Amino acid sequence: MPVRDEFINRDLSWLAFNERVLAQTTDTRVPLLERVKFLAIFSTNLDEFFMKRVGLLKLRIASRGGAEKTTHEGITLGRLRQEIRRRVIELQTRQADCWIEELLPALSRAGIHIRRYSDLGESRRAKIDRWFNTNVFPILTPLAVDPSHRFPFISNLSENFGLLISGPGSTRRTFARVKIPGVVPRFVPLETDDEDAHEFIALDDLIAHNLSRLFPGLEIKDVTAFRVTRSAALDEDDEDADDIMEQVEDELRKRRFADAVRVEAHPDASDEVLQVVTGQLGLDEQDVYQRRGPLEYADLLHIASLPRPDLRETPWRPIIPKALRDLAPIDDGRPRSGTPRGDADGPSETIFERIRQRDILLHHPYESFEHSVERFISEAADDPDVLAIKQTIYRTSPDSPFVRSLIRAAENGKNVACLVELRARFDEQRNVTFARQLEHAGVHVAYGVLGLKTHCKCSLVVRREHTDEGPGIRAYAHIGTGNYHPRTAQLYTDLGLLTADPVLTSDIVKVFNTLTGHAADQQYEKLIVAPGTMRRAFEDAIDREIEHAKAGKPARIFAKMNQLEDRAITRRLYEASNAGVTVRLVVRGFCCLRPGVEGLSENIRVRSIIGRFLEHSRIYHFADGSDEPLEGRFSIGSADWMYRNLNARVEAVAPVEDDAARRRLWSILDILWRDRFNAWELNPDGTYTRLQPDPDAEPDTPESSGTFASLMADALSQSPYHTEQG
């Protein structure tokens, strides 16, 4: 593919991203069990890629002109399908090599052994067989296929055995299927005399050696383990939906029975078994992926979670923001770790008093999500002066503290509204459950705007207070880059802004009015909202940099996001490059922009950071004609530069105007760009080159081999917001 082409294909760029994830598994600087975890993450990422992107590709081939239809990059859909297959096979081969040749031996040296059933002694086999008889055998269901038994339904991501069986002396072979149960741990612990060792047998290995018990009197001719992936590329058009919840529940039922897109098996799989499976599922040989190693690498998360702190990263202890220390204690009935202490003489200020003093920028997981964002909603739920709470929920944890706080607030008589996005991919069922819980408690639940997913991360608290004008009300808000999800807040880097700025909070009131009611063409003073104003705002900001460059003034764009795919924004960035604007982009995942091409994008550089925490925050900086970064424009929010974010979702991006907060944002961008420990550079041809630490650099700097999390924490500790770790 010539590098002069404008765009990199999205799907191939995504595979390049997952290749960077896979590289973590062979990086000996990463602790052993973390490497095993990344091996599993690589597979779960690939599962989602097949469910969403390959499922969509096959739909397009079937319905939009066939395999000769071309993409925006000029690749035919048939060729793209072939190239995806080639890259996936290459990556899965590297995955298997890493597991078999590197990680398994390293685990064994560390006292973690995965034994083969055939290698166990007679007494150990007898013990594990007795365990199998009690705990597994009653769950298994053999399903034969014959004139009186139809081919069984194979559920998405299920692991199965396909067998060919026959009666005594018969030459006729009958297909049968046995599903590996999902309710039993995939790695079964074995008894061992060494108290420091961990020994396991894989569940599928154990079942495979006991299959004959399921078919007494019959001969098993062939056994093949296989795994099926089904499409999740369903029609999401809800313009004509009478009830979004009913539509989502209907789509969940459809997804369960959606077309299969992939079958995985081992290299020695029976051709006859695979022919039966693919024939029944409507697949062809291009949809079969045969590879070594576990049938489901995500099962290795069980191994990665072993209690071996010596083989994993030191647990990160979030820093408590200085601005939120010594607050009055709250009691929501939930045990809290490291709760900020109150004054010795009694309760001190509320979180609202601190927010009134200045905007508070939060950086997770380096700063405590529990003692900031969770506390903001929890304290509001119990504060007698709080009149109303409004919040958006896109994804949250199964035991969400936010859901509990909103329910408690409603029970306390407050006006509570929650926008629950029912169409958050793969979290639909959970969100339907949350919506019903909230409605049952008296919360006003809305499902968003027809035709748009609500992806913005906003909370609003309205409080009765004495203002400068006398008794009245004041609004407080949180605007974030990540979900209201306590678990991912410990694993993803995200930013949040706590503010009482009356102009910004007034804009957020308008956002909620649009989400819960009906409003057309809302006018916002500070907040940038998609789909209404965001595209134009970003395009205008890029155009201003172009004009500054043409006028000989400093011109700079420095942005961090998850993905970059929007073609109009990309072309604007190419114009900026040709005008002399310096463009630096930190894009974690796929990037369709082609940097460093003479005459097209020679002033654009793109890097990706893959490390301990998943880089999820979005930061946008424009120089605005100044060499001094703090005189430029900074904003954070929920949107990437993707068509779906700018046109098909409700998103919110907020300006950051507090000087201390702006300094911190520039420090974050600076550390990211200087990093040589976790950084990759995007080349013009779509490949990535891993940057190497500078051996001559000062120790514990981004250019050296210092750990990235510690560097970021050190930067935060210089801020007036921060104190010692909590």
Kindly tell me if the per-residue pLDDT of 725 is higher than 60. Answer: no
Distance, in Å, from the CA atom of 682 to the CA atom of 586, rounded to the nearest integer, reads 10
What integer pLDDT is reported at residue 471 of this predicted model? 84
Distance, in Å, from the CA atom of 226 to the CA atom of 691, rounded to the nearest integer, reads 38
Distance, in Å, from the CA atom of 94 to the CA atom of 504, rounded to the nearest integer, reads 49
Token pair belonging to 410: 């409603």
Number of neighbouring beta carbons within 10 Å of residue 544: 18
CA angle 494, 508, 241 (to 5 degrees): 90
What integer pLDDT is reported at residue 188 of this predicted model? 96
589, 595, 596, 599 alpha-carbon torsion, rounded to 10°: 180
Q: Are 179 and 169 in contact (CB under 8 A)?
A: no
Number of neighbouring beta carbons within 10 Å of residue 105: 10
Distance, in Å, from the CA atom of 423 to the CA atom of 439, rounded to the nearest integer, reads 18
Distance, in Å, from the CA atom of 717 to the CA atom of 712, rounded to the nearest integer, reads 9
Q: Which range has the worst mean pLDDT, 49-53, 127-131, 243-247, 557-561?
A: 243-247
What integer pLDDT is reported at residue 711 of this predicted model? 60
What integer pLDDT is reported at residue 299 of this predicted model? 95
Q: Are 21 and 97 in contact (CB under 8 A)?
A: no
Q: Are 569 and 7 in contact (CB under 8 A)?
A: no
Distance, in Å, from the CA atom of 222 to the CA atom of 245, rounded to the nearest integer, reads 45
What integer pLDDT is reported at residue 238 of this predicted model? 46
Count of alpha carbons within 13 Å of 586, Cβ hemisphere only?
23
Distance, in Å, from the CA atom of 519 to the CA atom of 511, rounded to the nearest integer, reads 9
Distance, in Å, from the CA atom of 67 to the CA atom of 86, rounded to the nearest integer, reads 17
Give me the percent of the chain exceeding a pLDDT of 70: 90
Token pair belonging to 683: 């080349």
| Residues with catalytic roles | 455
Distance, in Å, from the CA atom of 507 to the CA atom of 528, rounded to the nearest integer, reads 9
What integer pLDDT is reported at residue 249 of this predicted model? 65
What integer pLDDT is reported at residue 555 of this predicted model? 98
CA angle 153, 155, 161 (to 5 degrees): 80
Distance, in Å, from the CA atom of 474 to the CA atom of 486, rounded to the nearest integer, reads 27
Q: Which amino acid, residue 236?
A: E
Kindly tell me if the per-residue pLDDT of 469 is higher than 80. Answer: no
Count of alpha carbons within 13 Å of 156, Cβ hemisphere only?
21
Decide the pairing of beta strands 444-446 and 453-454: unpaired
Count of alpha carbons within 13 Å of 42, Cβ hemisphere only?
30
3-state secondary structure 350-385: CHHHHHHHCCEEEEECCECCHHHHHHHHHHHHHCCC
Q: Which residues contact 518 (CB under 8 A, 6 or more apart)?
A: none
Q: pLDDT tens digits, residue range 59-107?
A: 889 886 678 888 888 889 999 999 999 999 999 999 999 999 999 999 9
Q: Are 390 and 423 in contact (CB under 8 A)?
A: no
Token pair belonging to 5: 């082409």
Which whole number is the average pLDDT over 536-546? 98
Q: pLDDT tens digits, residue range 19-57?
A: 999 999 999 999 999 999 999 999 999 999 999 999 999
Decide the pairing of beta strands 415-420 and 386-393: parallel
Token pair belonging to 56: 């969509």
pLDDT band, very low/low/confident/very high, at 237 (cuts 50, 70, 90): very low
What integer pLDDT is reported at residue 2 of this predicted model? 44
Kindly tell me if the per-residue pLDDT of 332 is higher than 50. Answer: yes
Q: Which range has the worst mean pLDDT, 162-166, 466-470, 488-492?
A: 466-470
Q: pLDDT tens digits, residue range 398-411?
A: 999 999 999 999 99
H or E element at residue 64: none
Q: Which range has the worst mean pLDDT, 210-219, 333-342, 441-450?
A: 333-342
Q: Which residues of 397-435 are buried (b: 16+ CB within 10 A; e: fewer)?
A: beebbbbbbbbbbbeeebebbbbbbbbbeebbebbbebb
Q: What are the residues facing 499 on neighbouring strands?
A: 477
Count of alpha carbons within 13 Å of 579, Cβ hemisphere only?
24
Q: Are 61 and 78 in contact (CB under 8 A)?
A: yes
Decide the pairing of beta strands 453-454 and 159-166: unpaired
SS3 at position 416: strand
pLDDT band, very low/low/confident/very high, at 339 (cuts 50, 70, 90): very low
Q: Which amino acid, residue 245?
A: M
Q: Which residues contact 675 (CB under 8 A, 6 or more apart)?
A: 609, 691, 702, 703, 708, 711
Which whole number is the average pLDDT over 423-449? 86
Decide the pairing of beta strands 198-202 and 112-115: parallel
Residue listed under structure tokens 């005189």: 631
What integer pLDDT is reported at residue 722 of this predicted model? 41
Decide the pairing of beta strands 679-682 and 604-609: antiparallel
Q: What's the mean pLDDT when you consider all of the chain? A: 90
Q: Which range has the worst mean pLDDT, 167-181, 483-497, 511-525?
A: 511-525
Kindly tell me if the per-residue pLDDT of 370 is higher than 90. Answer: yes
SS3 at position 260: strand
What integer pLDDT is reported at residue 624 of this predicted model? 95
The domains found in the chain, sorted by start residue, are 114-311 (3.30.1840.10), 319-520 (3.30.870.10), 529-725 (3.30.870.10)
Number of neighbouring beta carbons within 10 Å of residue 3: 15
pLDDT band, very low/low/confident/very high, at 180 (cuts 50, 70, 90): very high
Q: pLDDT tens digits, residue range 639-659?
A: 999 999 999 999 999 999 999
Q: Which range has the worst mean pLDDT, 22-26, 447-451, 533-537?
A: 447-451
Which whole number is the average pLDDT over 322-341? 64
SS3 at position 558: strand
H or E element at residue 582: strand 582-587
Distance, in Å, from the CA atom of 667 to the CA atom of 680, rounded to the nearest integer, reads 19
Query: Regarding predicted confidence, which is higher, 195 or 38?
Result: 38
Residue listed under structure tokens 């297959």: 85
Which whole number is the average pLDDT over 272-295? 96
Q: pLDDT tens digits, residue range 602-631?
A: 999 999 999 999 999 999 999 999 999 999
Distance, in Å, from the CA atom of 186 to the CA atom of 299, rounded to the nearest integer, reads 6
Task: Determine the angle formed by the axes of helices 77-97 and 32-49, rounding to 10 degrees.
Answer: 160
Q: Which amino acid, residue 232?
A: A
Which whole number is the average pLDDT over 362-384? 96
Distance, in Å, from the CA atom of 523 to the CA atom of 528, rounded to the nearest integer, reads 10
Distance, in Å, from the CA atom of 396 to the CA atom of 715, rounded to the nearest integer, reads 29
Residues in the chain: 726
Distance, in Å, from the CA atom of 228 to the CA atom of 281, rounded to the nearest integer, reads 9
Which whole number is the average pLDDT over 667-692? 94
Decide the pairing of beta strands 260-265 and 288-290: parallel
